[in-house]
Amino acid sequence: MNAAAESAPAAPSLRSCLCKPVFITHVIWLCLLQLRFFFFIGTLNQYLNRLFKEDAQQGGFYRHRGCRFIYKLDPVP
């Protein structure tokens, strides 16, 4: 039992995992994806207002349905 514990490799430290280029690239990539998503949501409101000629009720309906679809709260037919 003691020999098996000695032959197992030591787990890498958290700092060594966080400093790996793969992890840093992944974090940067996720930040860019999140910025693209925020830009899309921000421009969607202006687009719907222009599309429905400032009709807040109809624009709000499609905005609400779109957000529910994105977050998978209910299926959109």
pTM more than 0.85: no
Helices (H) and strands (E) in the chain, counts: 4, 0
pLDDT tens digits, the chain, 77 residues: what are they? 555 556 778 888 989 889 999 999 999 999 999 999 888 888 887 888 888 887 877 877 877 777 777 777 666 55
In the prediction, which pLDDT does 56 show?
76
Which residues have a Cβ under 8 Å from the Cβ of 17 and sit 6 or more positions away? 23
pLDDT of residue 14: 87
Residue 21 CA, distance from chain mean position: 21
Q: Tell me, what's the pLDDT at 74?
A: 62
Q: What is the pLDDT of residue 6?
A: 65
